[in-house]
Amino acid sequence: MCGIAGFLDRNCNSSKEILINMTNSLENRGPDDHGHVVIESDSYQVGLGHRRLSIIDLSQFGHQPYTFEHLQLVFNGEIYNYMEVREQLTKVGYSFQSTSDTEVIIKNIHYKGLKNALADFIGMFAFALFDSSTEKLFLTRDRAGVKPLYYYHKDKMLLFASELKAFHQSPRFEKALNTDALSLYFTYSYIPVPHTIFQNAYKLEPGHYLEVSVSTGELKKEKYWDIFDAYNKPKLNIDYEEAKEELTKLMLDSFQLRMVADVPVGIFLSGGYDSTAVAALLQQNSSSKLKTFTIGFEDKGFDEAPYARKVADYLGTEHHEHYCTYKDARDIIPKIPEIFDEPFGDNSVIPTLLVSQMAVKEVKVALSADGGDELFCGYPKFTNALKYTGKIPKTLQKAASGVMSMVNPQVFPRKKETYNFDQRYLKMQEIWQNQDPVEAMITISKFNVKSTIDDWILAEHKDAISYFKSSNSLNRENDAINKMLAIDYKTFLLDNNLTKVDRCTMSVSLEGREPFLDHRLNEMIAQLPSSYKYHDGVTKRILKDIVHNAVPKNLMERPKMGFVVPIMDWFKNDLKEITTNYLSDEKLKQDDLLNYKQIGKLRDSYLNGTAENVQRIWHLLVFQMWREKWM
């Protein structure tokens, strides 16, 4: 796991000093080593920079940029099956001086070409490859998007990096706010690919590579993998017990591959089905005790630690836990704008940062269990979408939506404790208007509807295209459940959960790995009938049955608890000064970007004890802190 940064400057106004500054801004991603190279001609400069976190081959032979003949590479990630690929390359005449996966990547590309080489790799990766023989630069991102990769393109300058903060080190980067992306942020609490908070800056989509001609500056984006392709294949003709057996084997193989390292490895354990599946299958097949890590809360409604402890005791892991307090939050909150260098509103960054800080004292790699909910139908939003659109006749839904559209929700009297009434009213009206469970799931995913966003943002903004609007790419092989899962894989999983884990782990130089996001495993799950995932009110059906073979059912049966922070009261009590500072009328008025009167009403309503959605307050706080730091 590392950090990469670089540029293509067709004006030849860049320098190695700029490259070093860009790369050093990512030091937390790779404190163990660094390297830089600038390739110059009369018409262009290509800079490749690398910060290294040593996980496989700790020797100097893992140093980057790595050169082989006409190819130069900077790479962030891990190729878990690199020894298998290396063996195949050895058979056709390649020799190796290191035991690193970096050398395998560059030589496999040399042998097969980029697209064919990518098909061989099982792993997480983002890399930049310069081919001097064709004068082309390639930027590549792994299939699920576990590893981030950003690029900025304007005029004759292309910048790329593992994080946006590196771009600020280039004098050619113009930090102009992207108000369309800001609208997305306030809608979903994160900014979906390909957008970023800055104009002319983009996230490279997962399963894609960007081919750049260094002589002409032409950009061409190519897709080499898409989870939709797996969903669009005919569903597997396999009975449930056989599917459970095959899935268990594939899960174990996927999980064990992600234990490959020359340093200690641990597991984030919540005690839910996803993380328990990872810990149970690995511990059952290990002769040594695994290290597991959990964050708890004093508020019992949010505290998963006792459940995790019971699972750890049953499995016999070496378990570590820490209880999060508002004092922990007070220490972490000021760091969030630096760690998340574009607005990111998931408040579970607080416990994720805490568990990362705890784990890095014991291990250098931690397995997280992201993807289980998206793959196996675990979130309530999936079942609620079916319920809201399926129980009421379509004609009544349409009629109700029409009436609701003519009545302002604020005319209804309500008690102070009535939670988030206006947004729920407007979302329900939207759900019944569309009458489609997939659209309902997307609406449920929103924190603010469009009319609210339009009230909040004074600057011109418009709807931006994202994978939320891609359901037409899913064919009739998919029912509503599989369509919802496919879209959530490419939106919430990607730009919320994976972003969160990457930034939190990397902020303390801990490598986070995602054992559920092996593309072979994901392709099989995508081709399973939806009834294997959700059946007779049971979510995660097949995963639960697999876990019950390893852990007693009575240890697992408990209400689903999201990994969130009990912040409902924090920001009007212990942390009230943060609210009143960043959401003051004076700060909200800056640049005439936000409607301070509308947002001020929400702030005051919350501080006066009305049951507002505190997540919306948090999203506003995060944006204001980000704006103060980066703009």
- For residues 314 and 555, is the Cβ–Cβ distance under 8 A? yes
Residue 134 CA to residue 71 CA, distance in Å, equals 10
- Two tokens at 452? 């609210």
| Catalytic site residue from 2, 324, 377, 504 | 2
With a CB cutoff of 8 Å and minimum separation 6, the contacts of 191 are 181, 184, 185, 197, 342, 343, 495
Count Cβ neighbours within 10 Å for each residue of 512-550 and write b for 16 or more, e otherwise: bbbbbbbbebbbbbbbbbbebbbeeeebbbbbbbbbeeb
327: its two tokens: 């004092």
Count the alpha carbons within 13 Å of 356 in the hemisphere toward its beta carbon.
Answer: 23
CA 449 – CA 464 distance, rounded (Å):
14
**CB-based burial of residue 81 (10 Å sphere; 0-12 exposed, 13-18 middle, 19+ buried)?**
middle
Separation CA 522–CA 226 (nearest Å): 11
Residue 476, class by beta-carbon neighbours within 10 Å (0-12 exposed, 13-18 middle, 19+ buried)? Answer: exposed
Establish whether the linkage from the previous residue to 192 is cis, with ω within 30° of 0.
Answer: no
Contact, 599 vs 456, CB < 8 A?
yes
Q: Is 379 helix (H, G, I), strand (E, B) or coil?
A: coil
Q: What are phi and psi of 419, to 5 degrees?
A: -85, 120
Which residue matches tokens 């001086």? 97
Strands 208-213 and 219-223: antiparallel
> Quick check: 258 and 283 in contact, CB under 8 A?
no
From residue 43, how far is each of 47, 164, 213, 466 by CA, in Å? 14, 26, 12, 35
d(CA 188, CA 5): 28
Phi, psi (rounded to 5 degrees) for 352: -65, -40
Contact 151, 210 (CB under 8 A): yes
324 is catalytic: no
Report the alpha-carbon distance of residue 349 to residue 566 in Å, rounded.
13
Residue 294 near residue 311, CB atoms below 8 Å: no
Burial class (CB in 10 A: 0-12, 13-18, 19+), 314: middle
Residue 367's nearest CA partner among 284, 286, 278 is 278
Which residue is associated with the tokens 């998206």?
374
- The 3-state secondary structure of 63-124, one letter per residue: CCCEEECCEEEEEEEEECCHHHHHHHHHHCCCCCCCCCHHHHHHHHHHHHCHHHHHCCCCEE
- Single out the residue of 160, 242, 232 nearest to residue 201, CA to CA: 160
Computed on alpha carbons and rounded to an integer, the radius of gyration of the chain in Å comes to: 24
Q: Which amino acid is at 284?
A: Q
Chain centroid to CA 129: how far? 24
Residues belonging to the active site: 2
